[in-house]
Structure 1
Amino acid sequence: MQILLSFLICLLATTIGGISGIGGGVIIKPVLDAFSGLPVNTVSFLSGCTVLAMTIASMLRSRGGAKKVELGRGTLLAIGAAAGGVLDKELFEWVLGAGGTAVSVAQQVMMIVLTLGVLAYTLNRSRIVSRDVRSPAACASIGLVLGLLSAFLGIGGGPINLAVLYYFFSMDTKTAALNSLYIILFSQSASFLGTILRGTVPEFRWPVLIVMVIGGILGGILGRSISKKLSSSGVDRLFFWLLLVITAISCYNLVCCFA
């Protein structure tokens, strides 16, 4: 039952992630926290592997599409995010040493605050004047912060990436979604390699990881196919409702931490 549930969660999450550019980890992580009963470090690792597989599939699928990655600024953001992903592993291991409950509480509180912030920005986006950052140093620094946040939360980047790309780089919805996946690809690859090289891979069941990765790949392919058929406003609506669901799940998980 756990294997089937993990597959279905990952398939649905990464399909939505492929459409909107959130990656899927922002759904997988809190849902598994709520229902899997697995340790927080195991959930973060499994979620990260799934998101990595999904992003690879999505980026391959997007080749030849109308929307393109901004290789200049996008690569600087991605490199910064990769550096942040590596550095954040040290922070995660330090917080983990304080106890599993402390990690869970910190992750859920940060998730709620960030998601509500992105929701507030989304609701007021039409009234907020966006920027058009061009400085290489600024791009890399913004990417670094994104990598730190996404690696610690184990979500790949999700809605945080999109809000940053909207505001700092004046990207439209679909361009931001594709560039978000590009950033996630770099940050999750760096985070995964860092975990392997440090020898800090948590205990997990191989069948669970395999079905999650398969679900992630299928979801990434399906999500990019659906995205091509949706308008930007349709993607925006999906993103809005998704933020509400993520906030509700994170609030539930935070309450469970103290139960």
Structure 2
Amino acid sequence: MVLLICCGIAFAACLLGTVCGMGGGIIIKPVLDAIGVLPVPTITFLSGCTVISMSCWSVGRTLLRREAALDLPVTAVLAAGAAAGGLIGKQLYTGIAARFPDPNTAGGVQAGLLLAATAATLLYTVNKDKIASKEVAAPAARLVIGLLLGMLGSFLGIGGGPFNVAVLYYFFSIPAKKAAQNSLFIVLFSQLTSTMRTVLFDSVPPFPWAILLGMVLLSIVGSEAGRRINKSIDNRQATLWLEGAMVLVMGISVYNIVKFLG
């Protein structure tokens, strides 16, 4: 039953996430936390591994089909910062989880940060036409932005979701669809270093291999289905899907805050 629940959520989350351009990781993690079928540390690890697999699949697919639209001067520096941020974010999560008698309580901290980040992203998305975007050129500033994105995605165990896209749009004036492609590389680097740290320092939580493999497979199937739906809707509909999905994530985050910290 747990296998079916986890795989079903991975499929549905990646389908919805691909349709609206926010990725599936931001949905998988809070939904599994809310259902509570596995401990929070295990869910964080499984979600991170699923995000890595999805990023590798999407990046490889894009490169093989020569559909990549990378802004390398920006993305390369951001990815380097995100790689370091992935290590720091994982260390922060491990430290915070260790402070609580019940490691699951850390899920409440994650939910609170996810709620704040998603609310800020939704507010920006709704008003982005009224806000002038920037052109950050300083390599040091780009590195810091990448570092912060990597820390956030790694700490939450969700990759990057709509946060990366919003940051790329605002700070670098990269259009939404192009930003989504560039975001995948940032997510890939941050989650790789985060997961490598977990494995190398022998802090991998117990997990069933069947669930991990099932989530990876179904997340890829879901993303492919979502990609087909995405092609059949216009930008206005995609934006409505995105805003609705963010409201859903915020609602689940509130539930998780009450569940773990209430």
If the TM-score is normalised by the length of the shorter chain, which range does it land in?
over 0.9
Counterpart contact for 2:133–2:169, Cα < 8 Å: yes
- Equivalences for residues 1-259 of structure 1 within 5 A: 1-63=1-63, 64=65, 66=67, 68-99=69-100, 100-258=103-261
Letter paired with 2:120: G
**CA displacement at 1:236 relative to structure 2:** 2.2
**CA displacement at 1:258 relative to structure 2:** 4.0
Distance 1:15 1:56 in 2: 17
Say if 1:191 and 1:197 are closer, same or farther in 2 by CA, change over 3 A. same
Q: Match of 2:146, SS?
A: helix
Counterpart contact for 1:10–1:219, Cα < 8 Å: yes
Counterpart contact for 1:25–1:156, Cα < 8 Å: yes
Counterpart contact for 1:67–1:174, Cα < 8 Å: no
Distance 1:222 1:257 in 2: 33
Say if 1:230 and 1:67 are closer, same or farther in 2 by CA, change over 3 A. farther
**CA displacement at 1:178 relative to structure 2:** 1.0
Which deviates more from structure 2 when the two are superposed, residues 243-252 or residues 128-137?
Answer: 128-137
Distance 1:172 1:244 in 2: 23
Letter paired with 1:148: M
Distance 1:185 1:164 in 2: 16
Q: Where do 5+ consecutive residues of structure 2 fail to align?
A: none
Distance 1:182 1:23 in 2: 13
Letter paired with 1:10: A
Deviations 1:121-177 (A, max 9, x none): 111111001101122221111010001111111111112112111110112121111
Counterpart contact for 2:19–2:238, Cα < 8 Å: yes
Provide the aligned C-alpha RMSD in A.
1.7
Counterpart contact for 1:18–1:58, Cα < 8 Å: no
Counterpart contact for 1:22–1:161, Cα < 8 Å: no
Count of matched residue positions in the alignment of Structure 1 and Structure 2: 259
Counterpart contact for 2:39–2:104, Cα < 8 Å: no
**CA displacement at 1:239 relative to structure 2:** 1.4
Which deviates more from structure 2 when the two are superposed, residues 109-118 or residues 96-105?
Answer: 96-105
